Structure 1
C-alpha cells in the first residue's frame, strides 16, 4: 500500500508540474500580453496530455501510465529544444512562423506571403531570464517532470 501512495504522490507532483507550466504559459499570454507562436502552442499539447494522464493515473497508479506521462513530458521537452534552436538560429523553424529569405517568388507571391504571415514569430525571444527563453525553461522543467514520471513508474 505504501508503494502505491508513493507512486501516487509522484504522479500528483508530475501532473501538477505540467499544470503549473500551463498556468504560467496562459498567464504570460493573457496577463502578460505575450501571445504564443506556433511552436509555443505545440509545446502545450503534451503538457495537457500529461495532466490528463496524471488524472487517470491517480485513480489507477500503473507504471505504464507513469511511462506515458514521461513520454508526454519528454515530447514537450523535445519540442522546446527544437524551439530553443530556432530562437538561437541553430536551425530554421517552420516557414509559417520564422524569418526566411524568399527565393523564386514573384512580387505578388511575396506580397501575399507577407500579408498571410502570422504576427508572432517563432525565431524571436519575447522574454528571457538568466539568458534562457521560455522555451528553454520549459525544456528544463519538462525534463525534470519526465524524471519524476520515471521515478513513479519505477515504484
Structure 2
C-alpha cells in the first residue's frame, strides 16, 4: 500500500489531500446538521474544531512549502498533521465512549435538543441548549458518527505518519 501511495505521500500532495479530506468531513457534518436535522452536541463541535485546525495547518504549510521546499519541513509538517488527527481520534473515541456509557459525559453535555428551524429570533442573545452527548441519533453498522469519526481520524493519523516517514531525506551511501 505504501508503494502505491508513495508519489502522493512523498511530496506536498498529502497535506493538500489532508486539507481536502478535512473540508469534506466538515461539509458532511454540516450536511447532517442542515439536511438531516441532527443537532451537534458539545463533543461533536470539539471534533469539528480538529478539522478546522487541520485545514488551517495544511493551508499554512502548503504556502510555506511553496516559499521554500525543504524535506525536513515536510517531515515535521506531516508529523504535526498526524498529531492533530490523533487529537481528533482521542476526542472521537471519548465521545463514542460517552455514547456507550463507558464513562460519564463532561458537564454541559446533557442538554435537550433545540428546534433550530423554528427558533424564536427574539431571544437570540440568550443561551440555548444543544443536543445531548450521551445519545447517538444516527448509527451505521453499529457505529455512531463519533465512532466513524474516530476511525477516519485514526486513518488520517496513520497516513500522516507514513507520509512523514516517506518524506524523510534519504542518505546516499
Count of aligned pairs between the two proteins: 138
Which residue is equivalent to 2:81?
Answer: 69
Indicate whether 1:145 and 2:149 are aligned.
no
Which residue is equivalent to 1:123?
Answer: 134
TM-score normalized by structure 2?
Answer: 0.72
What's the secondary structure of 1:7's corresponding residue? coil
Deviation at 1:67, TM superposition (A): 1.3
Higher helix share: 1
Deviation at 1:4, TM superposition (A): 9.1
On the 8 A contact 1:125/1:133 being kept in 2, the answer is yes
On the 8 A contact 2:75/2:163 being kept in 1, the answer is yes
Consecutive unaligned residues of structure 1, counting only runs of 5 or more, are 100-115
Indicate whether 1:82 and 2:86 are aligned.
no
On the 8 A contact 1:7/1:153 being kept in 2, the answer is no
Which residue is equivalent to 1:105?
Answer: none
| Matches for 1:43-122 after TM superposition, within 5 Å | 43-59=47-63, 60=65, 62-98=74-110, 118-122=129-133
Consecutive unaligned residues of structure 2, counting only runs of 5 or more, are 1-5, 66-72, 112-126, 168-173
Deviation at 1:127, TM superposition (A): 0.5
Give the whole-Å Cα distance in 2 for the aligned partners of 1:82 and 1:93: 9
Would the alpha carbon gap of residues 5 and 142 (structure 1) be closer, same or farther in structure 2, given more than 3 Å must change?
Answer: closer
Which residue is equivalent to 1:8?
Answer: 12
Aligned alpha-carbon RMSD (Å) = 2.2
Deviation at 1:3, TM superposition (A): 7.2
TM-score normalized by structure 1?
Answer: 0.80
